Amino acid sequence: KQEVTQIPAALSVPEGENLVLNCSFTDSAIYNLQWFRQDPGKGLTSLLLIQSSQREQTSGRLNASLDKSSGRSTLYIAASQPGDSATYLCPGAGNNRKLIWGLGTSLAVNP
Amino acid sequence: EPEVTQTPSHQVTQMGQEVILRCVPISNHLYFYWYRQILGQKVEFLVSFYNNEISEKSEIFDDQFSVERPDGSNFTLKIRSTKLEDSAMYFCASKTGANTGELFFGEGSRLTVL
């Protein structure tokens, strides 16, 4: 059964640090992967989508990569800001295209 | 920027009552989804909808639940005879294609069953 593990579960850093959030799947057969952020009590905001033919995506201070051989994805956040504080989720879709969700990484960036 | 909109943002209901949650997906999207998230737990898939019919549903999506696209814009989730354990945040999402394209979520409808 496909499961997603996100490490660390929680992270608290001072403003300005570069961060790496990790996501791993028990089954490495990931078709595509999308990183989201979720603010407390709010919806899911799409950050980056890595499609089946891609290995990496960048948007501003965010860079996400997907290693299909190992079933791992990382989200790199450069020069973190307090506004980056949120829970980050990385649901991946296997060959059945069904999204598998983890519990997320709760990030706090302190001014 | 186009967005998925959901109403109501919060609904409180008595156990046993029927609830309808409404969603307006992004206009050129063809695939629609409902997910739910119980407080502190993972996001869970409920149902996917394409071409005016359910394409897939999870074990959670039993006879208590139904979905409809009553017109060209709205996509609704009906929960009959609500139970305490139905209390959760319900998210609607849409995308252009089944295998490609970014999945966009609404802000969610928080359902509280008393």
pLDDT class for B114, splitting at 50, 70, 90?
A: very high
Which residue ranges in chain A fall short of pLDDT 50?
Answer: none
- Stretch B66-80: mean pLDDT: 92
The residue to which tokens 């008595």 are assigned: B14
CB of B25 within 8 Å of a chain A CB? The answer is no
pLDDT at B72 over 80: no
- Give how far Cα B33 sits from Cα of A56, A73, B76, B94, Å: 26, 24, 10, 6
CB contact under 8 A, A42 and B45: no
**According to the model, what pLDDT value does residue B84 have?**
97
Neighbours of B102 (CB within 10 A): 14
Taking the C-alpha atoms of residue B22 and residue B2, their distance in angstroms, rounded to an integer, is 17
- From the number of C-beta atoms within 10 Å of its C-beta (0-12, 13-18, 19+), residue B16 rates as exposed
**According to the model, what pLDDT value does residue A78 have?**
98
Lowest mean pLDDT among A95-104, B43-52, B73-82: A95-104
pLDDT digit string, tens, across residues B103-112: 999 999 999 9
Taking the C-alpha atoms of residue B21 and residue B89, their distance in angstroms, rounded to an integer, is 11
pLDDT digit string, tens, across residues A84-95: 999 999 998 776
pLDDT class for B76, splitting at 50, 70, 90?
A: very high
| Cβ-Cβ contacts under 8 Å, A43 against chain B | 91, 105-108
Closest chain B residue by Cα to residue A43:
B107
| Cβ-Cβ contacts under 8 Å, B104 against chain A | 46
Taking the C-alpha atoms of residue A35 and residue A12, their distance in angstroms, rounded to an integer, is 19
CB contact under 8 A, A46 and B43: no
**According to the model, what pLDDT value does residue A34 have?**
92
Q: Tell me the two tokens of residue B80.
A: 């009959």
